Amino acid sequence: MKVLVCLCQVCDGEAAFSIAPDGLSVVPSERVAWRMNRYDEFALEEALRLKDSGIAQRVDALSVGPLRTLSTLRKALETGADDAALIRLDRPAFPAEKAGLIASHAAGREYDLILAGVMSEQGLSGATGPMIAACLGIPFATAALRLEAGPLARLVRVEREIDSATREAFTLTLPALVTVQSGINRPRYPSLSNVMRAKTQEIGIIDPAPPAAFQETPASAVYRMPDRGHAGLIIRGTAGEAAEELYRWLHGRSLL
Amino acid sequence: MASRKVPVVSDSDKKILVCGETAGRTLDSMTIEAVACAERAAEMTGASVTLALPCADVHEFDIMSGGGINVIALTNPLLKLYSAAGYIAAMERAVRETSPELVLIPGTSRGNDFAPALAVRLGAVFVPGVASLKEDGGSLVFTRSCWHGKAEMELKQAPGLTVATIQPGSFAGPAHRRVRAMVHEIKIDLAIGDTVPEGEIRAVGEADSGLRNAEVIVSAGRGIGRVENLALLEETASLFARSAVGASRPVCDYGWLPYGRQIGQTGKQVSPKLYMACGISGSPQHIAGMKSSANIVAVNIDPEAPIFRYAHAGVVADLTEFLRAFIDLVREKKKTGR
Ligand SMILES: Cc1cc2nc3c(=O)[nH]c(=O)nc-3n(C[C@H](O)[C@H](O)[C@H](O)COP(=O)(O)OP(=O)(O)OC[C@H]3O[C@@H](n4cnc5c(N)ncnc54)[C@H](O)[C@@H]3O)c2cc1C
Ligand SMILES: Nc1ncnc2c1ncn2[C@@H]1O[C@H](COP(=O)(O)O)[C@@H](O)[C@H]1O
């Protein structure tokens, strides 16, 4: 089995950012540290487990993004992916466009299974995975909490999450796409041998051909900071002062 | 198969199609929310609302609606079990029947599963996780959360078709009166394809986490940093009567607490007298499970954390230092009886 894992690079939620004056983009501060989307760590781990158990022979990692994304692909190689490629795109894109680019890359490369994360922590769309499947016309399931494949049958069995107490199971005929929900496994750390191998391994950079399949982007997207919401009490100060102030607040509401 | 257009209640030619999920004879609570959202959009644009129900067979549904609503049931025995392929086929048919400008899909686990692929199939613009709506020059503007929940994106409805999912908990307005709607049935063709559903699996013996009956919930997020710090949250909870410790999803993913304690969209929905979120950023998925709590307190080191927008009182501090001081203080006050 040949597996493709789609990885996106995100920054931490705590990272400083601003909104461009024209409102058309979010600008992270320059010192931001970029890392792999956590859901994609779970997807990569799932792929590597298929390889460990002899079901997958090859695991490739793929990202769409600017050159800084190479560090996340390098991390995937260090963690155990066999190969990595970057579809270079220097501006942010909506899921439909990313899915179109990934689908046209994957088409003809004969992947049996494409894995993605359930959602990007940064963009919060949760759309790219099923959109890739729709572009390729292959079956899919999202939010997998269990993925089972055998060495021979051209099938995977997926349990997808409905909520913390309920799942539903599907059998998909390969080729198929599955998005992975957090908690499905415990992602591994890079091994020394893979880190050494990844040091010198080349990562292919692809300049995107215009996506063949699908490119429907919203006409206008404007970013803004949300309203303050409740103008709640904000407590600062030393731990002792803050504790005292919260105590008074709770006491005033008969909560303590 | 009859392809006549569905009769509409409003004479407007603008249409909004809502996809419903049914839970037995009643509509799923998220479907009721999606209808509420559609009716708000309809008020702004003068559109009519049609509810499409992919299902195995038609029966009468109790539908909560503010006014007239058209209901079409897309039926096929295979729709007894959910599958993305089945729902996509049903909704493609419903779109052909009604020619809407907007298809609204509840942001449930299943809605999030099939909606993006449906949008691709229909060549539609896709807007995930709509949290609010407004009107601008006759067009709808959707607001959704992005950038780790810290920024918002406003998307103006483009000409053509838009498919949008609704962020759970965003349109749960006042309950409407109950209307018994006429259901127009459309039988659809479906074949078992390359996706075979087996049906639902329920977790057995999920421990009662005590969250349901708790009046005070102290919740742990990833910001607690280490499992050892859970003790601080347990001590904080013990300062209150009828209290329990809850968690955000990552805390359960790490195995620090069982999934029975998870609060949010895919966990428990709670509304205690006091909800105290410690080291929780306030993602839309977490907020969906606790935003109706009577009093919300957030403890977070990041003054920009989205949770502060929902908090009635917010403490900007390192939670370990703060909680230690808070526990000592409350114990002292209890001892001295004041
Ligand atoms: C389909 C789907 C369903 C989901 N369902 C749920 C759900 O039901 N419930 C849920 O919770 N999540 C759910 N999630 C996950 C959700 O998107 C977020 O990833 C999650 O809620 C984040 O949890 P968190 O706030 O604990 O962690 P983070 O977002 O990582 O936030 C940690 C916070 O801790 C703060 N912090 C760090 N150190 C300290 C310190 N020393 N003192 C004080 N504060 C500190 C940080 O400033 C930050 O704000 C779901 C996701 C998907 C895709
Ligand atoms: N730029 C990207 N490159 C590769 N894969 C991506 C990219 N963006 C999103 N994905 C994949 O799609 C999933 C969902 O992302 P999103 O639809 O943006 O929430 C992610 O977890 C990744 O697996």
Per-residue three-class SS string for chain A: CEEEEECCEEECCCCCEEECCCCCCEEECCCCCEEECHHHHHHHHHHHHHHHCCCCCEEEEEEEECHHHHHHHHHHHHHCCCEEEEEECCCCCCHHHHHHHHHHHHCCCCCCEEEEECCCCCCCCCCHHHHHHHHHCCCEEEEEEEEEECCCCCEEEEEEEEECCEEEEEEEECCEEEEECCCCCCCCCCCHHHHHHHHHCCCEEECCCCCCCCCCCCCEEEEECCCCCCCCEEECCCHHHHHHHHHHHHHHCCCC
| pLDDT of res. A134 | 98
How much is the mean pLDDT over chain A?
93
Is the minimum distance from the CB of B318 to ligand 1 under 6 angstroms?
A: yes
Would you write out chain B's pLDDT as a tens digit for each of its 338 residues? 334 444 444 546 899 999 998 766 667 788 889 988 999 999 999 999 999 999 988 865 666 554 567 889 999 999 999 999 999 999 999 999 999 999 999 999 999 999 999 999 999 999 999 999 999 988 999 999 999 999 999 999 989 999 999 999 899 765 555 556 678 899 999 998 899 999 999 876 566 678 989 999 999 999 999 999 999 999 999 999 999 999 999 999 999 999 999 999 999 999 999 999 999 999 999 999 999 999 999 999 999 999 999 999 999 999 999 999 999 999 999 998 76
Question: Six-digit token pair at A97?
Answer: 């466009």
Given an 8 Å threshold on Cβ–Cβ distance, is B202 in contact with A127?
A: no
Span from the CA of A95 to the centroid of ligand 2 (angstroms)? 7
Q: Which helix (H) or strand (E) holds B327?
A: helix B319-335
Secondary structure (3-state) at B77: helix
Give the range among A44-53, A218-227, B100-109 with minimum mean pLDDT: A218-227
Is the per-residue pLDDT at A101 higher than 60? yes
| pLDDT of res. B7 | 45
User: What percent of chain A lies above the pLDDT cut of 70?
Assistant: 95
Nearest CA to ligand 2 atom 7: A8
| pLDDT of res. A209 | 67
Secondary structure (3-state) at B115: helix
Is the minimum distance from the CB of A211 to ligand 2 under 6 angstroms?
A: no
Residue A10: Cβ within 10 Å count:
23
Span from the CA of B278 to the centroid of ligand 1 (angstroms)? 10
Give the range among A25-29, A175-179, B289-293, B319-323 with minimum mean pLDDT: A25-29
| pLDDT of res. B280 | 98
Span A104-162, pLDDT tens digits: 999 999 999 999 999 999 999 999 999 999 999 999 999 999 999 988 889 999 999 99
Is the per-residue pLDDT at A208 higher than 90? no
DSSP B157: P
Is the per-residue pLDDT at A217 higher than 60? no
Is the minimum distance from the CB of A182 to ligand 2 under 6 angstroms?
A: no
Q: What is the mean pLDDT of residues A78-90?
A: 97
B-chain CB neighbours of A114 within 8 Å are none
Residue B132: Cβ within 10 Å count:
15
Return the ligand number nearest the Cα of A180: 2
CA distance B36 to B27: 13
CA distance to partner chain B, nearest, from residue A120 (Å): 9
| pLDDT of res. B207 | 62
Mutation pick from A37, A163, A241 vs chain B, by most beta carbons of B within 10 Å, is: A163
Chain A, window 183-222: residues with a beta carbon less than 8 angstroms from a chain B beta carbon:
183, 214, 216-222
| pLDDT of res. A245 | 98
**Burial of B266: CB neighbours in 10 Å, binned 0-12, 13-18, 19+:** buried
| pLDDT of res. B337 | 77
Q: Which helix (H) or strand (E) holds B331?
A: helix B319-335
Ranges of beta strands (E only) in chain B are 15-19, 22-23, 26-27, 48-55, 62-64, 70-75, 102-106, 125-136, 139-146, 151-156, 162-166, 178-180, 183-187, 195-202, 216-220, 243-247, 274-278, 295-300, 313-316
Secondary structure (3-state) at B325: helix
| Contact call for residues B34 and B91 (beta carbons, < 8 A) | no
**Beta bridge pairs of residue A77:** none
Q: Which of B149, B250, B309 sits opposite A124 (nearest CB)?
A: B149
Cis peptide before A175 (omega within 30 of 0): yes
